[in-house]
Chains A and B, each alone.
Chain A
Amino acid sequence: MVAPALDLKKTPLNDLHRKLGGRMVEFGGWDMPVQYAAGTIGEHLRTRTHAGLFDVSHMGEIDVRGPEAIAFVNKLASNDASKLIDGQAQYSALTTPQGTVIDDLLVYRFAEDHLLLVVNAGTTDKDWGWISSHQTGEAVKLENVSAQYCQIAIQGPQAISILQTLTETPLHEIKYYHFVRGQVDGVDSIISRTGYTGEDGFEVYAPPDKAEQLWSKILDAGNYGSEEGVLPCGLAARNTLRLEAGMCLYGHEIDETTTLLEANLGWITKLNKGDFIGREALAKQKEERIKRKLVGFEVTDRGIARDHQDILIDGQKVGIVTSGSPAPFLKKNIGMGYVPVEFANVEQNIEIDVRGKPVSAKIVALPFYKRAK
């Protein structure tokens, strides 16, 4: 087994990943499992049909406290944090003055004067720098609390029944994008009905020294090792699951060169909530109409589209693939990418330049996959 480079960060589950046969790779400065022995396809399918367990402890957490907490977050993030109630979470984005994306994040409201921002692993330091640079006065207190949490996601149709065996908290009462404080196997946790797979499921935040206990208990409760048991899932399955669900991944669909409106994230862009960084640029872009748009496509030829390949129409480059991959559950080769708005229509034929060979594809509606409710 390859030893991690010395400067890579490790989650509290690093030793367990290795014991479980995790193949470790560098991701955003972290030493993370890309897959376990079952393989990406097996992990992906098990999450869709039963349950998958994910270590997402590498995500960053930033605490925002004080009487101005909501106003502060509303100045920096595009969604309207004032609409949150206690125990509710919201998908949002930190935007540049140009309306492009510094990061996407979840905003959790514990109280009127206490929010928690959950940000991407690779952008935590950048986000912390950006957010803390906007702090003025004493009305807001910020703290980077990333090291105080492990985060474990249990996802899939059986996630609720598996997790319920370990907690007294009635999980069915937690609505989608809501959370409660509760105990999981006796460990004080935040139990959040959120995820990044397109399935029902939960994300559990707990003290890092309890991570191995929770992870192992959830695997046991989910009959890990049996044909229909829970499987630990690596980053590769996490990526294919979110891609089938049509969700953006920072650094792929969204970054500091793409605006929220181009990325179909108008629904988290609340132009009428009051001023926020990037609002003016986004309002102007909305009025003038976007010129390019994020679309989903499926490959109709033999071949697999990959990130960064060119999208062609009539042999001319019109755009770029932001994520391209086989979709294990849909059994198709799919992708997302940007094209000029005049081509951004379902059924539009396109080609993907797959290492010099044009491969036929067509634009399809997003998301590719939607679970049956």
Chain B
Amino acid sequence: MANVPDNLHYSKDHEWVRVEGDIAVIGITDHAQDQLGDVVYVELPKAGDEFAANDSFGSVESVKAVSEIFTPVTGKITETNDSLNDEPEKVNKDPYGDGWMIKMTMKSPGEVDSLLTAAEYEDFTKAEE
């Protein structure tokens, strides 16, 4: 069973958001990394880039497939996890920790309230299967 931590917010595109003050830390869920298989390449934006909620901000590739990744909230990138360039497998091993992808300052922090809770996300992934 995929790991779905309680303290995070989730999107229907299988990203998670951890709120740290006005910063959103974003990555893909355990369920998403499991579905993808071995992650071999992650393409991320640059600090300073701005995205609206549901914009594609990059891509994550497994041996077999490419998946776009989307910003669950609106804001400006403050930091990206450049260690994924050399160690993309962190996304598989620790999707909620070392496998984080981007940090952004949120333009409207209230946006996270429209995302799924852990329980809702779990139900959502079950319904998808």
Contacts and interface: CB of A to CB of B under 8 A. Distances in A.
Interface of A: 1-2, 23, 34-35, 39-42, 44, 236, 240, 302-304, 306, 325-326, 328, 355
28 contacts: A1-B129, A2-B129, A23-B37, A35-B37, A35-B64, A39-B37, A39-B38, A40-B37, A40-B63, A40-B64, A41-B38, A41-B40, A41-B63, A42-B38, A236-B63, A302-B41, A302-B85, A303-B41, A304-B40, A304-B41, A304-B61, A304-B66, A306-B66, A325-B64, A326-B40, A326-B41, A328-B63, A355-B66
Contacts of A325: 63-64
A1 B37 CA distance: 16
A325 B38 CA distance: 13
Contact of A236 (B41, B61, B64, B129): B64
Nearest to B66: A306
A326 B63 contact: yes
Contacts of A328: 63
B66 A236 contact: no
A240 B63 CA distance: 8
Among B59, B64, B66, B129, max chain A CB count under 10 A is at B64
Interface of B: 37-38, 40-41, 43, 59, 61-64, 66, 85, 129
Contacts of A355: 59, 66
A32 to B, nearest CB: 13
Contacts of B61: 304, 326
Shortest 8 CB-CB distances between A and B: which pairs? A40-B63, A41-B38, A39-B38, A326-B40, A236-B64, A326-B63, A304-B61, A304-B41
A40 B40 CA distance: 11
B54 to A, nearest CB: 18
Given A40-B64, A41-B63, 4 more contacts: A41-B38, A41-B40, A325-B63, A326-B41
Nearest to B64: A236
B69 to A, nearest CB: 13
Among B41, B62, B63, B85, max chain A CB count under 10 A is at B63
A1 B41 CA distance: 27
A34 B41 contact: no
Contacts of A304: 40-41, 61, 66
Contacts of B37: 23, 35, 39-40, 236
Nearest to A325: B63
Nearest to A237: B63
Nearest to B40: A326
A2 B35 CA distance: 12
Contacts of A2: 129
Among A302, A304, A306, A328, max chain B CB count under 10 A is at A304
A133 B38 CA distance: 45
A64 B43 CA distance: 52
A40 B129 contact: no
Nearest to B85: A302
A302 B61 CA distance: 12
A326 B61 CA distance: 10
Given A240-B63, A304-B61, A328-B63, A40 B41 contact: no
Contacts of A303: 41, 43
A328 B43 CA distance: 19
Contacts of A302: 41, 85
B21 to A, nearest CB: 32
Contacts of B40: 41, 304, 326
A2 B125 CA distance: 12
